[in-house]
Structure 1
């Protein structure tokens, strides 16, 4: 909740980005590492953790999250500088709405794809039926 409010205030969003520089990449590494393996990583023995290369997806996730975080922070500073701080609430609202839109699209697009597949199958069936009728008529009337 604090981050949602802090991102809307021009100077506070930059301070929040500095504070989140450690948290966001760590969270990204944990999420990517958890999603990349079929089982939960439990570090009982650090030597096994490094020997089994279980750490690689975590580091990849940290790097990806760090790049995204630095890009967002730099873009936010540039936008606030150019717009005099007016861009902060607009960008923050767009950042809040984009994940919702992507999640909705992930749900809706498969349904739309299924409907389109049904339409294609129906169209192919209708075309084949029309072609058969036309061929029968041609045989009955002696056309070639």
Structure 2
């Protein structure tokens, strides 16, 4: 249960920002005993790897706040964010020791599949909603929404590691703005279709 919640929270965070959960997991494993990385994932806590992730995060934070550029960045991140989701879900399998579950450890493909799937779904929602935000706010909303997404990714990553039982509540809180953005996109499409000239019969 706790392992699944931790992995779910981290992979969801990766769908918003690929590098924040990677950095949080790596730092937690490097500086604390909270995260014990399984065999094959020790590289995630290496100082050089963390430095590279930090540089990539800095670039992501800047690029994602520039209208149009954020759309191009989302296209690139279509591969990166799901991969990060698979990594963080798999790298925290050690949390299964807390609830005496070994199934995830014995079936590593499952954690990768779940992590990739969850991160991809969140990423697709994010990349679909962003053009609507840019169009309806003339680009002004891009940095605001991006900052909220970064904060959500960081908060969810911390909650997933230190307070996994709160992941469900955190996901519910994130679902509300996602639902609002989806409704906004549908309304935008409807309004756009009504403005288009109809061919004469």
CA distance in 2, matches of 1:103, 1:70: 19
CA distance in 2, matches of 1:37, 1:102: 18
Greater CA radius of gyration, 1 or 2?
A: 1
Tell me, which stretches of 5 or more residues in structure 2 are unaligned? 1-57, 97-105, 164-201
| Higher relative contact order (Cα pairs below 8 Å, separated by 6+ residues) | 2
The farther-off stretch of 88-97 and 54-63 is 88-97
How many pairs are equivalent? 97
Does residue 60 in structure 1 map to residue 114 in structure 2?
yes
Cα distance change on mapping 1:5 and 1:33 into 2, 3 Å: same
Task: Tell me the CA shift for residue 34 of structure 1.
Answer: 1.9
CA distance in 2, matches of 1:55, 1:105: 24
Cα distance change on mapping 1:98 and 1:36 into 2, 3 Å: same
Of residues 120, 135, 142, the one that matches 1:88 is: 142
Tell me, which stretches of 5 or more residues in structure 1 are unaligned? 40-51, 110-144
RMSD: 3.0
Task: Tell me the CA shift for residue 54 of structure 1.
Answer: 1.8
Give the structure-2-normalised TM-score: 0.42
